[in-house]
Amino acid sequence: MSTVAVIGAGIGGLSTAIRAAAAGRKVTLFEAGPEVGGKLRQLHLGDYRFDLGPSLFTWPALLQDTLASAGPNAAPFDFLKLDRSCHYFWPDGTRFTAWSDRTKLTEEIQTTFGMDPEPVLQHLDSSQRGFEATRALFLEQSLHESSNWRPKVALPHIRKALKSWRDLPLTRKLNDWNRKTGHPQLQQLFNRYATYNGSDPFRAPAMLHVIPHLEFGMGTFAPIGGMHAIVDALHRTALNLGVDIRTNAPVEQIQVSSGRVQGVVHSGNQTFEASVVVSGADVTPTYQKLLKGHGQPHRILNAEPSTSGVIFYWGMQHSAPELHLHNILWAQDYKAEFQALFAGKTIAEDPTVYINIGSKTSPEDAPEGAGNWFVMVNAPAGWDPQGIDDLRQRIEKKIEAMTGIHVAEHRVCEHILTPKDIAARTGSHQGALYGPASNAPLSAFLRQRNRDRRIKGLYFAGGSVHPGGGIPLCLLSGRITHELMTQHDPIQ
């Protein structure tokens, strides 16, 4: 029997544990915190329920696939397809709804921006072609296994990608590529997709233009029961499969002998033997704390972190009819916002404000006529929360100016999460939301590999490693890691 120790019960750890247990391995999952979910935990404040981390759910087929790998042990999970992805508000009063339906979207572009919608529709088609051409090569397999680059395996993918070469802007920056939309406000809208992996659209490669296809082409969704239902489904499936889930059980060391993992030391010096160890914890503390004394991958550890965030969770006694599930109140100067974040290591004076109101699709999460507001601004990883009161005031003023809602009059409760809190709660390096940023042209190749090259039996899953951060990519990391485990550490 193959014994697997998984470190961390985030999406990456849980999904790897499910696939490994479903394949017949004996899996023990060690979670440092009091409950599973990692960044996707929840919070109750009086009559309000909040999802602490992710609020946007895309590419649900990956979650369904993970659950289906458990066969009859899969817990039920259900979701709605949304008719729009986001409501956008600009300081000049422009408002735009990103409808899922292409005809409605076309009309909205015409009426809002008074322009021919064709360049935007072509931009979206290019996003789809770019996504389809690269997903198998760059997202759905390891980039770091020589076996995946054997001509027989790689050539069909490369041929497919080459057919769409016009949609693969390898040498351009995302901001330049998005000029093709033909309108500065739409350029800004498409630039925001760089933040889906915590990057800077003015430096990030234009290859990130494949991300909008996830929303505009595949759709945005809302899990029934809120985002936490994702964790619930994964958790229950893992339990049904017999995964031994231990909470309040921090791993302190990964034991290695003769170049092979032997198990882990956890919960105050207790040892646990395992032939395979999967770290679903952030790669930086995994090496710096759990693998002290072993070779450290300096390039990975010195990589520029992705952005973090400051999130205000507000119980609001206001129905906010002009707001939907996802709302963006733009910064006046988007470029200045990213300069502040990455060069200035601070939050912009006028930051873009994201308001998510989960109760718009899960009414049970707030009293009738009220809303559970999740209000987030981008922050540099490691941001010092000293200026939090000033930030709150600036955000309230912006919301009032752009929506007419006077926050302080309606707010009945509050909780705040800063980059430091995110780091403390999830072990994420400096509280970065998505591991390293993708600001460099070859970022996809520069992330931590899913199988350690030097230590046999050691694997990595989750948002700080390949293929990247966010729920869909974390689920893919679980699948890739499990496939590598099957290949390199087959069940004895």
Where along the sequence are the contacts to ligand FAD (CB under 6 A)? 7-13, 30-33, 38-40, 53-56, 250-251, 280-281, 309, 311, 422, 426-428, 433-434, 462-463, 469-471, 474
The set of residues, in sequence order, having a beta carbon less than 8 Å from that of 237 and lying 6+ positions away, is 18, 67, 70, 73, 74, 75
CB of 76 to ligand FAD, least distance (A): 21
| Identity of the residue, 130 or 469, whose beta carbon is nearer to ligand FAD in the bound complex | 469
Task: Please identify which residue in the block is written with the tokens 């540099």.
Answer: 380
Shortest spacing between CB 60 and ligand FAD, in angstroms: 11
CB of 465 to ligand FAD, least distance (A): 8
Q: What are the DSSP E strand ranges found in 259-358?
A: 260-266, 270-273, 276-279, 308-316, 326-329, 353-357
With tokens 């899913």, the residue in question is: 450
Minimum Å gap between C-beta 162 and ligand FAD is 30
Contact residues for 426 (Cβ-Cβ < 8 A; gap 6+): 10, 33, 38, 39, 282
Beta carbon nearer to ligand FAD, 4 or 251: 251
Q: Residue 236 CB, nearest distance to ligand FAD (Å)?
A: 17
Q: Which is nearer to ligand FAD, 367 or 385 (CB)?
A: 385
Q: Decide whether 7 or 208 has the Cβ nearer to ligand FAD.
A: 7
The structure tokens 């990589």 sit at 303
Alpha-carbon distance of 407 to 398, in angstroms, equals: 10
Identify which of 272, 239, 246, 276 has the alpha carbon closest to the alpha carbon of residue 3.
Answer: 276
Shortest gap between Cβ of 246 and ligand FAD (angstroms)?
A: 9
| Residue 28 beta carbon to ligand FAD: minimum distance, rounded to whole angstroms | 11
Nearer to ligand FAD, 2 or 356 (CB): 356
Smallest distance from ligand FAD to CB 31, Å: 5
Strand partners, 451: 459
With respect to ligand FAD, which residue has the nearer C-beta, 8 or 371? 8
CB of residue 254 to ligand FAD, shortest distance in Å = 9
Task: Identify which of 341, 405, 407, 403 has the alpha carbon closest to the alpha carbon of residue 377.
Answer: 341
Nearest alpha-carbon partner for 234 in 476, 39, 10, 51: 10
Residue 289 is which amino acid? K
The residue count of the chain comes to: 492
Spatial contact of 253 and 264, defined as CB atoms under 8 Å apart: yes
Q: Tell me, rounded to whole angstroms, the distance of Cα 347 from its chain centroid.
A: 20
| Closer CB to ligand FAD, 60 or 201, in the complex | 60
Residue 214: C-alpha distances to residues 61, 65, 125, 208, 246 (Å): 12, 17, 12, 11, 34
User: Which lies closer to ligand FAD via its Cβ, residue 33 or residue 117?
Assistant: 33
Q: Compare residues 11 and 210 and give the one whose CB is closer to ligand FAD.
A: 11
